[in-house]
Amino acid sequence: MFRGYPARMAHDPHGPQLPAARGPVSAAVRGYLAGSDALPAARTVAAASAYGDDLQLALYLCYELHYRGFAGVAPEREWDPDLLRVRAALEHRFLTALREDTPLHDSVEDGLAELLVEPVEGTGVSHFLAAEGELWQVREYAVQRSLYHLKEADPHAWVLPRLWGRAKAAMAAVEFDEWGGGRPERVHARLFADLMTDLDLDTTYGRYLDAGCAETLATVNLMSLFGLHRSLRGALVGHFAAVEITSSPGSRRLAQAMRRVAAGPAAEHFYDEHVEADAVHEQVVRHDVIGGLLDEEPHLAPDITFGLDATGYLEDRLAARLLAAWRAGETSLRTPLPDREKSHIS
């Protein structure tokens, strides 16, 4: 018998702490998770900037309930209809902005072809870190990326029941590889935690959510958005292809950056592993995941292109933010790390 929403819910005793609010929307969502009755009003959501800290954190809070939740928050909030209604409004703002702002390729083939050409003089974050990155910048980069890498490949798992045949088999095989091929010590999220240990960072899941800038939150929210909606399965596949295709050369430069600052063997290994793994993954994703999906559902081609290009758009925004801060000698983080560099040198 359906009794409606349970009046008393057990709270998750462990898990990440709720982060600090970044404006009225995230304050209301945070308050609701902490036990208040008030959710943000529609006009408050409408007034927030689509890519800004406030809206992106509010969306991140909603999505995190599908991963590990938060300490003290009832796990049933994941399917709270009132909260889902707010999440839908936040997603609408984010997705509408992305559809308006993302420059799109004419076809999946064009989008892939451009990603497969390697610029001789790249200007991205990995180029910067490989050529002139300092230890504090490498540590900040790891903090920003920890929001994704500590749950690496998890957002993409949601697409599996929405695929079948060749696309499903290939996607599952790549995910299996991401999760260590059955060996817990090789799960990529674990390898990233080992990298963080080398860099003297806290490996606790969710520890650096307060530190992550809005541009980082947006890159992770994009994966959750695409993963959680069957209607966006084409975009998820396009997004995954963009990540895998750009990862191998980018990881080579990041491995160089790790060596440059003498980060340690686990830090080097994380990126070395990605050079090799993603050289395989990008082949499998292009030929079998995208190829298989297009064979079954050719009408999804524009969504695949959108996923490819929206990923590039948000990654470029993040790169601009990080490089602007670092070139000015400033932190890219919302909550700076305690200065521990001296202990490394001595």
Interacting residues toward other proteins by CB under 8 A: 116-120, 173, 176-177, 181, 248-249, 252, 272, 275-277, 279-280, 282-284, 287
Smallest distance, other proteins to C-beta of residue 118, A: 5
Residue 325: exposure state from Cβ atoms within 10 A (0-12, 13-18, ≥19): middle
Smallest distance, other proteins to C-beta of residue 249, A: 6
Which phi and psi (to 5°) does residue 12 adopt? -65, 120
DSSP string of 49-102?
-TTSHHHHHHHHHHHHTTTT--TTS-GGGGG-HHHHHHHHHHHHHHHHHHHHH-
DSSP summary character for residue 180: G
Q: List Cβ neighbours of 256 (8 Å cut-off, separation of 6 or more).
A: 130
Return d(Cα 88, Cα 42) in angstroms, integer. 11
- For 198, other C-beta atoms within 10 Å of its C-beta total 18
Smallest distance, other proteins to C-beta of residue 137, A: 24
- For 82, other C-beta atoms within 10 Å of its C-beta total 12
Smallest distance, other proteins to C-beta of residue 246, A: 10
Q: Which is nearer to other proteins, 93 or 188 (CB)?
A: 188
- For 343, other C-beta atoms within 10 Å of its C-beta total 8
Smallest distance, other proteins to C-beta of residue 283, A: 6
Q: Which is nearer to other proteins, 130 or 277 (CB)?
A: 277
Q: Which is nearer to other proteins, 44 or 247 (CB)?
A: 247
Name the token pair of 109.
């083939």
Q: Which is nearer to other proteins, 45 or 191 (CB)?
A: 191
Q: Which is nearer to other proteins, 179 or 192 (CB)?
A: 179
Smallest distance, other proteins to C-beta of residue 120, A: 5
- 3-class DSSP state for residue 332? coil
Q: Which is nearer to other proteins, 206 or 249 (CB)?
A: 249
Q: Which is nearer to other proteins, 100 or 185 (CB)?
A: 185
Angle (CA) 65 305 254, round 5°: 70
Smallest distance, other proteins to C-beta of residue 294, A: 18
Q: Which is nearer to other proteins, 77 or 168 (CB)?
A: 168
Distances (CA, A) of 66 to 14, 62, 107: 15, 8, 33
Q: Which is nearer to other proteins, 85 or 287 (CB)?
A: 287
Return d(Cα 142, Cα 144) in angstroms, integer. 5
Smallest distance, other proteins to C-beta of residue 186, A: 10
| Residue that has been written with the tokens 């999220």 in this structure | 189
Task: Evaluate whether 263 touches 199 at the Cβ level (below 8 Å).
Answer: yes
Selection from 246, 342, 327, 312 nearest residue 101 by Cα: 312
Smallest distance, other proteins to C-beta of residue 328, A: 29
